[in-house]
Amino acid sequence: MQIDAPHEAIEFSVSDTGIGIAQADLARLFTPFTQLDSGLNRRHEGTGLGLALVRQIVDLLGGSVHVTSAGVNCGSCFTVRLPWIPRFSPLPQPAATTQENATTGRNANGASRKQATILLVEDNETTIALMREYLRMHYQQVLVARNGEEALSTAFEQHPDLILMDVQLPILDGLSAIEQLRELPDFQKLPIIALTALAMPGDRERCLAAGANEYVTKPVSLRDIRGMIDRYLGGTCS
């Protein structure tokens, strides 16, 4: 693993001592359903989808993947490069005025953090970990609820400034939770962004009909979500 702080990137490399790749085959490597040895008697199993999936996931995250090999039987080295926001900058940050501190707070990177409470309603732990970490860098407080009922009780107790609501949730689904919130005067104007895993025809209409302000299909771009959140919170964010 290597950190490229100036370019806000992080690289992971995996090397093996396996069958290696001929120079001529490198270009075909990331094509779906492609096995370099595609003969019926081939010695290596697989669907030929693994690397195509890696490349798609890395693309979605705004990164890149590349491979080097010294040739057949000389092993290969795969490198994934992803955008990365350093949490602890080695560079001294300009001191914020007391006023700024009071209104925005500062995250570990010295960038301003909005004085806002975001409620993330999500039942997938991986998504929670990823989004909570990102949101915490930009907003003062991030609350997590793992089902619709928890979302309601957290909203009643903590009065978040905005809710990110997954639609498919145990106990009480996201759309029902939104509907219940909208029936209460306190929550009629609360910005709610619905997140759905699968784009199905009519999804958007159902989310908006339930009372969501926006509808986003996963996988979401964290930067896009942040832009959307900031639009609802008003003002700009660094």
CB of 218 to Mn ion, least distance (A): 9
217 binds Mn ion (CB under 5 A): no
**Nearest 10 degrees: Cα torsion 94, 100, 102, 107:** -50
CB of 220 to Mn ion, least distance (A): 13
Q: What is the DSSP letter of 167?
A: S
214 binds Mn ion (CB under 5 A): no
203 binds Mn ion (CB under 5 A): no
176 binds Mn ion (CB under 5 A): no
CB of 42 to Mn ion, least distance (A): 39
123 binds Mn ion (CB under 5 A): yes
| CA dihedral over 215, 125, 140, 94, signed as positive or negative | negative
Q: Would you state the structure tokens that stand for residue 68, as one six-digit string?
A: 């080097």
Q: Which residues of 40-52 are buried (b: 16+ CB within 10 A; e: fewer)?
A: eeeeeeeeeeebb
Which of 27-35, 121-129, 131-139, 177-185 is the region at the interface with Mn ion (rule: CB under 5 A)?
Answer: 121-129
User: Which whole-number Å values give the CA distances from 185 to 31, 145, 180, 212, in the listed order?
Assistant: 53, 21, 11, 15
166 binds Mn ion (CB under 5 A): yes
168 binds Mn ion (CB under 5 A): yes
Q: Would you state the structure tokens that stand for residue 153, as one six-digit string?
A: 């009780």
230 binds Mn ion (CB under 5 A): no
In the complex, which residues of this chain contact Mn ion (CB under 5 A)?
123, 166, 168
